[in-house]
Amino acid sequence: MEIEKLKVPPAYQAVSTELQKHILSGALKPGEPLPSEIELAAKFGVNRSTVREGIRQLESEGLVRREGRKRLLVTVPHSADLAPRTTRALVMHEVTFEELWEVAMVLEPLAAQLAASAASDAQIAALKANLDATSAVVERGISPGKLDLEFHSLVSAAAANKVLLLSREPVGLLLYPAFETFQMQLPQAARRLVEAHREVVAGIERRDGAHAELWMRKHVADLKRGWELAGLSIDQRIEPGVTP
- For residue 174, which amino acid is it? L
By the rule CB under 8 A, 62 interacts with a copy of itself: yes
Smallest separation (angstroms) from DNA to the CB of 20: 16
Residue 3 interacting with a copy of itself (CB under 8 A): no
DSSP state string for 71-96: --EE-PPPHHHHHHHHHHHHHHTT-B
3 state SS of 199: helix
What is the pattern of x (binds a copy of itself, CB under 8 A) and - over residues 222-241? ------------------x-
Distance in Å, CB of 134 to a copy of itself, minimum: 25
Site mask, DNA, residues 29-58, x = CB under 7 A?
-----x-xxxx-----xxxxxx-xx-----
CB count, 10 Å around CB of 122?
Answer: 9
What does residue 144 show for φ and ψ, rounded to 5 degrees?
A: -60, -25
68 near DNA, rule: CB under 7 A:
yes
**Is the Cβ–Cβ distance between 113 and 212 less than 8 Å?**
yes
The CB-of-38 to DNA minimum distance in angstroms stands at 5
Instruction: Choose the contact partner of 60 out of DNA, a copy of itself, none; CB within 5 to 8 A by kind.
Output: a copy of itself
What does the alpha-carbon distance between residue 49 and residue 38 come to, in Å, rounded to a whole number? 10
**Best CA proximity match to 181, nearest among 217, 134, 148:** 148
Would the CA dihedral through 130, 134, 136, 142 be positive or negative? positive
Question: Does residue 37 touch a copy of itself according to CB under 8 A?
Answer: no
**Among 69, 121, 140, 141, interactor with DNA by CB under 7 A:** 69
Stretch that binds a copy of itself, among 88-96, 128-136, 200-208, 223-231 (CB under 8 A): 88-96
Contact 222, 200 (CB under 8 A): no
Which residues bind to a copy of itself, rule: CB under 8 A? 7, 12, 16, 24, 30, 49, 52-54, 56-57, 59-63, 68, 76-78, 81-82, 85-86, 88-93, 95, 99-100, 102-103, 106-107, 110, 114, 161-164, 166-167, 170-171, 240
